[in-house]
Amino acid sequence: MIFYYNDRMKPLIQAFHDKNTGTVTYVVYQNDGADCAIIDSVLDYDPKSGRTSTASADLVVDFVRAHRLKAVWLLETHAHADHLSAAPYLSRQLGGRTGIGAQIAVVQQAFARMFPQRPGIERSFDHLFQPDEVFAIGALQARALHVPGHTPADMAYQIGDAVFVGDTMFMPDVGTARCDFPGGCAATLYRSVRRLLELPPQTRLFMCHDYPPAGREARWEVTVAEQSENNIHIRAGVTEEQFVEMRTRRDATLDMPVLILPAIQVNINAGQLPEAEENGVRYLKIPLNAF
């Protein structure tokens, strides 16, 4: 299957912004009653009580049902470090296959020492996308772009005139994603973002997160032209050397995300929670002095 960029193909996109983690979940579809993809879903998790909740995911379920959509894909742009995926819950409620970039194997490997993994983890996702793989969401044609840098496995999903960029860029006034997680690389992120910004200027870009500066409402949609002109880290004219220097200096000042340890052990396993132990309780593991 060959991918044709077709900017008359404008999918309908419903965004769900999770205030707790700044994550945006998207439902992408052509029209009511059609197939849809759900990108980067959130299972609510309260680290203080250890409680999970499907309140955020249920908003997505309600929307999909209200529009008579058939969920065919539950996509992850990468193994998130800031929230747990709700893909297994959505799959039980709505159906659909989970998908992530094939390089997730590198991320699973990187965390294997810290989180001893159940056998077969490499098969925990229903589908592993190869770079530039073309796939269908009903009549919508989609392409999985490999955009490493934040992690080795990051994908962006190009669907009609829209691209879901994952953790590559943020809104222009916030910049770009950090590159200091295992396997991250600022020079690689620079090249990935440059590739996205070579898309036609009117291409709609949808962020995976927004962390708005004080006084600005959360936003998540921007064009290639606006990013090229205004992105504070990587607008046109910023060289790779300048970007790597800035990114490396900035990453050295950042704390670990609050949910990285709970999130990673669940998300590298396609969002599956650990099995219950003999007492019927599931446990997440917190490795001490390993990260």
Residues that bind Fe ion (CB under 5 A): 167
User: What is the CB neighbour count within 10 angstroms for residue 10?
Assistant: 14
Q: What is each CA distance from 15 to 12, 28, 56, 282, in whole angstroms?
A: 10, 9, 12, 31
Q: Which is nearer to Fe ion, 11 or 149 (CB)?
A: 149
Q: Which is nearer to Fe ion, 30 or 98 (CB)?
A: 98
> Least Å distance between CB 191 and Fe ion?
18
Closest by Cα among 240, 201, 238 to 222: 201
DSSP 173-216: TT-B----STT--HHHHHHHHHHHHTS-TT-EEE-SB--PPTT-
> Least Å distance between CB 72 and Fe ion?
24
> Least Å distance between CB 167 and Fe ion?
4
Q: Which is nearer to Fe ion, 82 or 133 (CB)?
A: 82
Q: Which is nearer to Fe ion, 81 or 140 (CB)?
A: 81
Residue nearest to Fe ion (CB): 167
Provide the token pair at 123: 């098969």
- How far apart, in Å, do the first and last CA atoms of the chain sit? 42
> Least Å distance between CB 257 and Fe ion?
8
Measured distance CA(207)–CA(205) in Å, rounded: 7
Measured distance CA(204)–CA(165) in Å, rounded: 10
Measured distance CA(130)–CA(145) in Å, rounded: 8
Q: Which is nearer to Fe ion, 77 or 124 (CB)?
A: 77
The one-letter amino acid at 66: A
> Least Å distance between CB 54 and Fe ion?
21
Q: Which is nearer to Fe ion, 133 or 167 (CB)?
A: 167
The one-letter amino acid at 192: S
